[in-house]
Amino acid sequence: MMLNTLKNSFVECGGRDRARALLDESSYRELLDPFTGIESPHLEPQGIVPQCDDGVVIARGELQGLSLLVISLEGNFQGGGIGEVSGAKIAGALELALEENKAGGAVYPVIVFDTGGVRLQEANYGLLSIAEIGAAIVALREYVPVIGMIPGKIGAFGGMSITAGLCSTLIMTREGRLGLNGPEVIEQEAGIEEFDSMDRQLIWNTIGGNQRKAMGFADLIVDDDMAAFQQAILSSIKTAAGKPPRCTQVERYLSFLQTVDPFKPINAEKARQVWKQFEQNTLNEYFFEGPIQEKGIVSRGNKWFTLLTKGAPSISEISSVLCADSIIGNIPARFLAVVPDPSSRFPRARSGEFGLEQGWMIAKHVRDVIEEDRYQEKRAIVAIVDVPSQAYGYREELLGIHQACAAAVDAYATARLAGHPVIAFIPGKAISGAFLSHGMQANRLVALEDEGVNVHVMSKKSAARITRRTIEEMEEATKKVPAMAYDIHSFEKLGALFALMGGINADSPGISDREAVIGKLVEAIEDTKNSPSDLSSRLHTSFAREGGRAASILVRKKLSEQWH
């Protein structure tokens, strides 16, 4: 019996054993088990042996009379990476749980994270899936708490750390790790002086379970014991009711960041002290001294924000986030962009990266719209996307950049569910966690057909290092799996775009370019009317149906057949 051989260790179990351990044995039922025969179609062409459950176990059952949906990721297969099939299993199961809860049932989702994030061999399929997973979690939280668990082994990284940040309650062991950017990626992008990926003590002190709990990014630390995890689930379901998820506590975390001096040395212990002092002296309101105006890089995001808003002044308190209200055709709209700012308080977010302040500030401006329009016409929200990446840095990980990203994801998804048309306009780069946070929760995506418009999960150098391939080998693989490519035409084939606009000058747009884009944005807004407020439209486009998301559609169909 597994419990005896592993001495009751939850951390040492595989994904399937973890799912079994959380449910009463007599009630355990697995959906899309290995005998169903659905595996990733994208691995074998790259010389990688697929796995028949694609590294994700979906199980239904009961725990002391409560109906649970357990989603358990298998870190031993491809590092728990999210590809098309594994992502569709998670998103599809959560979507079915949402339907059952809407119908009056009570199904409590529990997600066991053991994942490095997006599976780089399937790249943009992972991005799309994680956006859909996040959308389902935000919608589910209106009915039941969503419980996240990070037991150990790999942890929760990349886009799946953002997903963890959306959960109502997060349970970890001391061995668990939670961070947006893995140590190797930070070292690759920012240098070994920023983060030494071989320094194990540094890693645990930055993103380990104890540190995450001490900094308010996790709720419970449990021992590595089967019964302890079961009790933690039961306790979390009871205590989560009425408690606002941390990703919605925007002003609290913005206030906390104001107490941090980015130019003074900081370590794990100092960060704990700052957080503890902040919690003891919680401010009733936060303040900003106002942005320091300094001429810097004028990005495509800057240019298109100015053009589309007709030069309306930004109301944002920080210069790296632009926010203004304007009119799109005859439709009132709020425009948002993240842009370079050489005076940004956090140095790793000075070239347009999506960082700590950017995530929480975007969340604030979106939530302001939701509240202001609660009893009146709901403004459209237009996210102008030109983001080269998230911010890679030690401070960012220590202070919870994954949670800042989750706050932005949550805000956009909440606005969409509340009836605001959310449109992402992509005139530049749309990379990794930055795109997941700023753009991927939109009802519709509109992109420019231009060589400078790229969509991907990671820079080529970092992707090559993580997959242990050369850049040339990575580029060769894109011929077999378009989702690995960076160009916008390859992304279009996946079916997520509402429109790809040619004939537009992306770098130096003029009035005619503005009018063409405005016209397409109005068309996108109109298309959202009388349509579902979720992200399902991305699976119904011609590109998606004709092969771009074939596996995603099949997985959902099979899941639905086995659900009851």
- Cβ atoms 292, 319 nearer than 8 A: yes
3-state secondary structure 459-522: CHHHHHHHHCCCHHHHHHHCCCCHHHCCEHHHHHCCCCCCEEECCCCCCCCCHHHHHHHHHHHH
Please give the pLDDT value at position 153: 85
Which residues lie across from 423 on neighbouring strands?
Answer: 382, 444
Cβ count near 510 (within 10 Å): 10
Of 110, 40, 120, the closest CA to residue 467 belongs to 120
Q: Strand order of the sheet with strand 66-73? A: 29-31, 56-63, 66-73, 107-112, 147-150, 169-172, 220-221
- CA–CA gap between residue 315 and residue 365 (Å, rounded): 9
Angle between helices 460-467 and 183-190 (to 10 degrees): 140
CATH of 300-458+498-529, picked from 3.90.226.10, 1.10.150.120, 3.40.50.740, 3.40.50.1000, is 3.90.226.10
Bridging pattern class, strands 169-172 and 147-150: parallel
Which residues lie across from 2 on neighbouring strands?
Answer: none
Cβ count near 503 (within 10 Å): 9
- Cβ atoms 456, 428 nearer than 8 A: no
**In the chain, how long is the greatest CA-to-CA distance?**
71
- CA–CA gap between residue 553 and residue 4 (Å, rounded): 40
153: alpha, beta or left? (left if phi > 0; alpha if psi -120 to 50): left
The tokens for 431 are: 């990379």
Which residues, including other chains, have CB under 8 Å from residue 547's CB and lie 6 or more apart? none
Asked whether the whole model's pTM tops 0.95, one would answer no
The tokens for 158 are: 């990349």
**What does each of the 564 residues of the chain score in pLDDT, given as a tens digit?**
344 444 578 998 899 999 999 999 999 999 999 999 899 999 999 999 999 999 999 999 999 999 999 999 999 999 999 999 999 999 999 999 999 999 999 999 999 999 999 998 999 999 999 999 999 999 999 999 999 999 988 999 999 999 999 999 999 999 999 999 989 889 988 899 999 999 999 999 999 999 999 999 999 999 999 999 999 999 999 988 778 999 999 999 999 999 999 989 999 999 999 999 998 875 333 333 333 334 457 899 999 999 999 999 999 999 999 999 999 989 999 999 999 999 999 999 999 999 999 999 999 999 999 999 999 999 999 999 999 999 999 999 999 999 999 999 999 999 999 999 999 999 999 999 999 999 999 999 999 999 999 998 877 777 776 777 787 877 777 777 878 889 999 999 999 999 999 999 999 999 999 999 999 999 999 999 989 999 999 999 999 999 999 999 999 999 999 998
Please give the pLDDT value at position 296: 56
- Cβ atoms 379, 332 nearer than 8 A: yes
- Cβ atoms 169, 239 nearer than 8 A: yes
How many CA atoms are closer than 13 Å to the CA of 464, on its beta-carbon side?
Answer: 13
- CA–CA gap between residue 241 and residue 144 (Å, rounded): 8
Please give the pLDDT value at position 4: 42
Of 219, 186, 189, 226, the closest CA to residue 202 belongs to 186
Which residues, including other chains, have CB under 8 Å from residue 353's CB and lie 6 or more apart? 338, 387, 388, 389, 390, 391, 392, 434
- CA–CA gap between residue 542 and residue 549 (Å, rounded): 10
The tokens for 213 are: 């709990």
- CA–CA gap between residue 315 and residue 323 (Å, rounded): 6
Apex 501 CA angle, 496 and 506, nearest 5: 115
The tokens for 16 are: 């399937």
- CA–CA gap between residue 33 and residue 559 (Å, rounded): 10
DSSP secondary-structure letter at 20? H
Distances (CA, A) of 135 to 65, 132, 258: 28, 5, 29
Domains 2-243 and 300-458+498-529 share a fold: yes
Which residues, including other chains, have CB under 8 Å from residue 388's CB and lie 6 or more apart? 351, 352, 353, 429, 431, 434
2-243: CATH architecture: Alpha-Beta Complex (3.90)
The tokens for 504 are: 């537009």
Q: Which sequence spans correspond to the domains of the chain?
A: 2-243, 300-458+498-529
Query: How many residues does this entry show for the chain?
Result: 564
- CA–CA gap between residue 400 and residue 404 (Å, rounded): 7
